[in-house]
Amino acid sequence: MTSRYDETYARSLRDPEGFWAEAAEAIDWEKRWDRVFDGSRQPFNRWFPGARVNTCHNALDRHVAAGRGAQTALIYDSPVTGTVRSFSYAELQDLAARFAGALRSRGVRAGDRVVLYMPMIPEAVIAMLACARIGAVHSVVFGGFAANELATRIDDARPKIIVCGSCGIEVNRVIPYKPLLDEAIERASHKPDACIVVQRPEQEAPLVAGRDETWADVMAGADAVDCVPVAATDPLYILYTSGTTGDPKGIVRDNGGHLVVLNWSMHAVYNRTPGEVWWAASDIGWVVGHSYIVYAPLVYGCPSILFEGKPVGTPDAGAYWRLIAEHGVSAMFTAPTAFRAIKREDPDAARLADYDISCFDTLFLAGERTDPDTLAWAERHLERPVYDHWWQTESGWPMGANCAGLGALPVKPGSPTKPVPGYRIEVVDEAGEQVPRGEIGAIVVKQPLPPGFTPTLWNNDARFEEVYFTRYPGYYVTGDAGVLDEDGYLWIMSRTDDIINVAGHRLSTGAMEEVLAAHQDVAECAVVGVADALKGQLPLGFVVLKAGVNRPPDEIVAELVRMVRESIGPVAAFKQAAVVDRLPKTRSGKILRSTMAKIADGETVKTPATIDDPAILGEIADAIRPLGYGNGAPAGD
């Protein structure tokens, strides 16, 4: 297939209003827009002002009305509980309509907020859709977040009701959620009117009299309600992401633009056809879960997988292959760190031979930079196309991708390919001037931003403008650093604060990680910059070895040092690396590089709220102490 990318991309920039108006024809509107775009108050873009629409209607009701009510919409697969259950569009419509009725009978109206503190269970998806059905604004907080972090989100969103799971279930432990919620409400200044608790049999939660009710009880007496049309520019949800000041940023997503771009992306970016089974192996606590577990596949008409498990450990490194084979998954989207975990446990992908994955055609990776070695490993063993792509919580959908539905372009390992239609991406220096092709700089996006992009932060227009648009006026600051090469391919090298200055040379830690990841014994790695009195900063590597590697760590480190010297040059001054059992990560799989750098610099580190396992910070401190870094002290809370 000849690629239509160049033509489509050029048209999206030449005539953005015409381009997105055409895409909007695929959505059911209660009332059409007065105009496609209002950019009169930059940087606060408004797409489809005057239009009225309902997201739940587009995700469920319109499919039922079109005669597809019996088709599968959602497949819940939970190896941690041994449960598999499918929901049709009609079943999801009924459940969402009744839970929406339960919310309405408890005083929730359009514009009110509902916080969801939930594990990966069907009730979480139902609650999201129910909020959308009546125009309430949902805010999903990752299940198991610490009480103080949940409290800050409660105070910012000021929810009328909180919906909570009694517990979450990990590979070998049960995590009680309700005590964390009770403590968060105690800490918060704002108090919800009520809490609705999904009682899981693995651990039921005690209820607070007069405030708490069970999901089963509220659903038993609930009347189904119809969809409530809202303004296209009204908020659908708030999703909090960490801020540099310590205060979470409430990313707002609107209804109209969000619907248009997610529906469009399922074909243009992911090359899906309605009816094909789609799996985004993420969590509803993250933007990927919002966009590509719930809204995009349901709106577009692809059965979506809701997976309560891990890439390894539930029960083994064949978990993904089992799920693809059993449910007929045609394409999936996951983080590179998931495949690095599989590669570490099963370097030769031996478990893949146990399953028939002939249904599967494409793997998409995002969430963390995909190193070429991981991409090559996946391509070699899957014998399918593997496409890296790049986006952020703020964007809500891909900004850089190999748009498979427009005709895939040649893959350059390490690059997410080119800017997605709608995004005018540039690379600039510290003065805001475009750098020559092939040179590293700050990645920015020129206004106007396309539909679906966050229009502001919740109740904080001033911070939105300051954080994202002040540094380079007229541009959105992504916070990422990288390169546009001579072919227009985009290379995301690192966060801008991961560009280190070694004796006056600006170097990318991502480029060094690419070299380390190519070593035959390395499963995954990270490089951070640490303070140095002579050179300003020096790179320090961390490597996790593949299962079964028994060579002396010093020997492997010496090889890594030589590889970086040969690939990047002596200017990199890469001389030390620590071999560790694991890397500190967020629950979405992002490596906490800045936290590791602070530990190496001997700073007292506040445990990040998003960390997967806080104990690992002490392990990192212990590992680098023999190298002369850090103070060996455990991180603080």
DSSP 315-362: SSTTHHHHHHHHHTEEEEEE-HHHHHHHHHH-TT-GGGGGS--TT--E
Q: Bridge-partner residues for 371, per DSSP?
A: none
Boundary residue ending a domain (450, 482, 514):
482
Q: Do 518 and 597 have their domain in common?
A: yes
How far, in Å, CA of 552 to CA of 389, rounded?
A: 36
Domain count, the chain: 2
CB neighbour list of residue 328: distance below 8 Å, 6 or more residues apart: 277, 359
Q: How far is the C-alpha of 525 from the C-alpha of 368, rounded, in Å?
A: 12
What residues form DSSP beta bridges with 333? 280, 364
pLDDT of residue 144: 76
Residue 495 amino acid letter: R
- Flag whether 381 is in a domain: no
Q: Are residues 217 and 88 in the same domain?
A: yes
Regarding whether 134 and 60 lie in a shared domain, the answer is yes
Shared domain check, 576 and 453: no
- Cβ neighbour number for residue 201 with a 10 Å cutoff: 8
* CATH number of the domain encompassing residue 26: 3.40.50.12780
Tell me phi and psi for residue 208, to 5 degrees.
-90, 120
Please indicate, yes or no, if residue 364 is contained in any of the structural domains. no
Beta strands in 108-214 (DSSP E): 113-118, 137-142, 161-165, 167-169, 174-176, 194-198, 212-214
Query: How far, in Å, CA of 481 to CA of 568, rounded?
Result: 18
* Residue 357 maps to a domain: no
Q: What is the pLDDT of residue 633?
A: 38
Q: Under a CB-based contact definition with an 8 Å cutoff, are residues 76 and 87 in contact?
A: yes
Q: Would you say residue 172 lies in a domain? A: yes
Hey, is 66 helix, strand or coil?
helix
Which is it for the CA torsion 438, 444, 447, 450, positive or negative?
positive
344 found inside a domain: no
One-letter amino acid of 406: L
Distance CA 454, CA 264 (A): 17
Q: Are residues 195 and 224 in the same domain?
A: yes
Rounded to whole angstroms, the Cα distance separating 274 from 528 reads 43
Tokens 């995954």 belong to: 524
Of 435, 451, 482, at which residue does a domain stop?
Answer: 482
**Nearest Cα to Cα of residue 111 among 89, 96, 132:** 132
- Predicted pLDDT of residue 245: 45
The pLDDT averaged over each successive group of 10 residues in the chain (637 residues) is 92 98 98 97 96 98 98 98 98 98 98 97 98 98 84 96 96 91 96 98 96 98 96 97 69 98 98 98 93 98 97 95 98 91 93 98 90 92 97 96 98 95 96 93 96 97 95 94 95 74 70 89 92 82 93 94 84 89 83 89 82 86 89 41
pLDDT attached to residue 612: 77
Among 285, 276, 233, 275, smallest CA distance to 254 is for 233
Cα 203 from Cα 216, distance rounded (Å): 15
| Residue 519, SS3 per DSSP | coil
Can you say whether the dihedral through the CA atoms of 311, 313, 314, 319 is positive or negative?
positive
Place of tokens 């969809």: 227
Same domain for 604 and 465? no
The CATH number for 618's domain is 3.30.300.30
Q: Return all residues near 594 (Cβ < 8 A) that are at least 6 apart.
A: 495, 497, 498, 528
Distance CA 345, CA 517 (A): 16
- Do 393 and 252 sit in the same domain of this protein? yes
Q: Scanning the structure block, which residue is given the tokens 């105690």?
A: 186
Whether residue 464 sits in one domain with residue 531: no
Name the token pair of 127. Answer: 């609650």
Token code pair at residue 347: 């370097």
Last residue of a domain, one of 482, 513, 547: 482
**Residues of the domain holding 294:** 5-309+389-482
Structure tokens at 543: 């490597």
Pair 508, 475 in one domain = no
373 assigned to some structural domain: no
Q: Facing residues of 237 across strands? A: 138, 253
Alpha carbon 321 to chain centroid, angstroms: 22
Q: Is residue 317 part of a domain?
A: no
> How many other C-beta atoms are found inside a 10 Å radius of the C-beta of residue 629?
24
For the entire predicted model, the pTM comes to 0.85
User: Pick from 331, 358, 168: which is nearest to 265 by CA?
Assistant: 331
- Nearest Cα neighbor of 464 from 184, 320, 252, 192 is 252
Residue 264 near residue 450, CB atoms below 8 Å: no
Domain membership flag for residue 324: no
Tell me, what's the pLDDT at 487?
A: 97
Q: Do residues 523 and 618 share a domain?
A: yes
One domain, residues 521 and 472: no
Neighbours of 10 (CB within 10 A): 11
> CA-to-CA distance for 538 and 531, rounded, in angstroms?
7
Q: C-alpha dihedral over 596, 441, 451, 63, to 10 degrees?
A: -50
Q: Do 123 and 20 lie in a common domain?
A: yes
Distance of CA 123 to the CA centre of its chain: 20
